[in-house]
Structure 1
């Protein structure tokens, strides 16, 4: 499945969220006391933290609605955002804790993951239904096409935010060693 999966089509299948005008302007990105996460889909822990900071800021500002229902099972219990592509701030999935954990455990619990997919897929083309067992090289694919500028999610060449929102972003996002900031 992985070899034939078109990464651009996979990204296009991810949910797409619309931004609203900010209701308030948080003066800083939230800083986490937790260690960086491991790499996922080729995104480093640093990139995953940065993506979380941006999504958190957009939610706190009122630009991005908080998730309320799991995209997979439709549960309203403990729903949060999950990113498959940390360079696409407006394409996080809404997942309940159970589906989120099953998604991340699919590498070694594939049969359990496929049971969830079988129980909830409508047409089999949902992003989560076509997710391969061992992940995708999404970050590498995007960097090959756009260079390291793809990682600059505040000024993204692939998923730009509106200028009116970009102008309000704080300056304390976790540093990325591969992005030059003037």
Structure 2
């Protein structure tokens, strides 16, 4: 997974997957990055600038959300999003099975939902796909929901798909279920 350069094969696949999308353009992408103090990982960065900034169809189930937006079901009471702060997780965490009291768990979860990631979209029922933009998992796609969080990619054991945005889109475009290695 190369987060610094968009490979030609990945870009061809993304163009085919989002063939009806409208790009945001490089000026708007750079303005977003400057506003948030980040550089988006490739090939997502080139996809948004040149291919599609959001799309009314998957991935995920309810479509790819435009760069500066959140899914309709995100909620107004969510913590402030701070993209420049590192995403805190490096391994799956099923907090639903954690014995911590809610008053301790809540502050630990805020960074998971709000730091170091952009929301790619939702599969509904509070299940969101995030692209990590800062931290040790930069470039990886994570599924974060009310019960827990886990990274997408064959090395993490839940799927046969490749890590990163291109691997996540390719897996969807091939019609495979997200969690096909369980």
TM-score by length of 1: 0.29
Structure scoring higher RCO (CA < 8 A, sep ≥ 6) equals: 1
The structure with the greater share of residues assigned to strand is 2
